[in-house]
Amino acid sequence: MVKPFWRSKISATKNDGLTWYKDLGLHAFGEFSTAMIQANSVMEDQCQIESGPLTFNNSAVHGTFVGVYDGHGGPEASRFTADNIFPNLKKFATESGDISEEVMRNAFAETDEDFLTAVKKQWRKNPQMASVGSCCLAGVICNGLVYIANAGDSRAVLGRSERGGVRAVQLSVEHNANVESARQELWSMHPNDPNILVMKHRMWRVKGIIQVTKSIGDAYLKRAEFNREPLLPKYRVAEHFTEPILSEDPSVTVTRLDQEDEFMIFASDGLWEHLSNQEAVDIVHSSPRQGVARRLLKAALKEAAKKREMRYSDLKEINPGVRRHFHDDITVIVVYLDPQMVQANGWASPLSIRGGY
């Protein structure tokens, strides 16, 4: 097994068995806490936090970038995304002079195109790379705004102070075939394909294969040249296609932050399978900041154990691979928002932290 790691330019992050975490750190607008846990035989999630300049030539354009990349079919696409999407974002922000919805979309498109180019180069040697993909959730806090771009089914949720408590506000739009809006979008994009969505094992799947409707990678559903032998038969679709079946184009939301906005939770769908938006927000709101991301992991795992009528302590003993039958890889990043720092547009001191393999 490849050894897990955290690459960081700040104090070392801890590794405890299958869990990796940074209990508390500082970003441009406050504090953050992050944690990951492995369930697959190879960890397919990746994540990163970058704080500081958001362009290559103007330090006045600065903020915090947060990325959660939930891989499927292998770790290659999520690793590639973690390596490339932030530099791509900085490139387009440099060209335009600022962060914008278009910059976010261009960063996704460039990352996806570059990964498909890598798939083509390795096609003869490693054709199964064409079946690897990754959900991609990216957030940028800058100039009092938060830009959220999402392709796939990870989620970003804002905790907003309200009447002595905190209310969950979902910032991201999800792209999973079991979400009505995602199905409608796919049907509208492929009106002449009656098999674009197929119910299989009581779940909607694109072409009967995959649940996510947008992603980085998944070349076999974007270019027909990769949907053939020697790709494994389970990934090949019967009908020839000329237009991409899946898209990398994210849904982008832009929200102006105000004094009541306390924190944001960025997490892969492994967390949201077991906790509602409000449950997660309540845990963060009522807990000390130190180690709060690990508390969210523990709450999700306790719920996963409860669903299988087993003890949490027994779930923790299950090895990777087999453990995937009980829960997915989970990545959580909690980003706290200091109102004064948000209003002053934070500080530009660089920070870079990445979790995964």
279-312 pLDDT, tens digit per residue, is 999 999 999 999 999 999 999 999 988 888 888 8
CB 134 within 8 A of CB 237: no
Joined tokens for residue 254: 């832009």
Q: Write down the mean pLDDT value for the chain.
A: 91
Residue range 170-202, pLDDT digits in tens: 999 999 999 999 999 999 999 999 999 999 989
Distances (CA, A) of 159 to 266, 287, 294, 316: 11, 13, 18, 29
Report the percentage of the chain scoring pLDDT > 70: 94
Distance separating alpha carbons of residues 52 and 244, to the nearest angstrom:
36
Cα–Cα distance, 337 to 290 (Å, whole number): 15
Cβ contact 34:271 at 8 Å: no
26: three-class secondary structure by DSSP? strand
pLDDT over threshold 50, residue 11:
no
The phi, psi pair for 34, rounded to 5°, reads: -145, 150
Q: What is the CATH number of domain 16-355?
A: 3.60.40.10
Helix (H) or strand (E) holding 256: strand 251-256
| pLDDT range class, residue 43, cuts 50, 70, 90 | confident
Task: Delimit the domains of the chain by residue range.
Answer: 16-355
Could you tell me the pTM of the whole model? 0.93
Specify whether the CB–CB gap between 54 and 89 falls below 8 A.
yes
> 141: closest CA among 338, 316, 356, 354?
338
Q: Which amino acid is at 242?
A: T
Distance, first Cα to last Cα, the chain: 10
Predicted pLDDT at 2: 35
Residue 80 has a pLDDT of 97
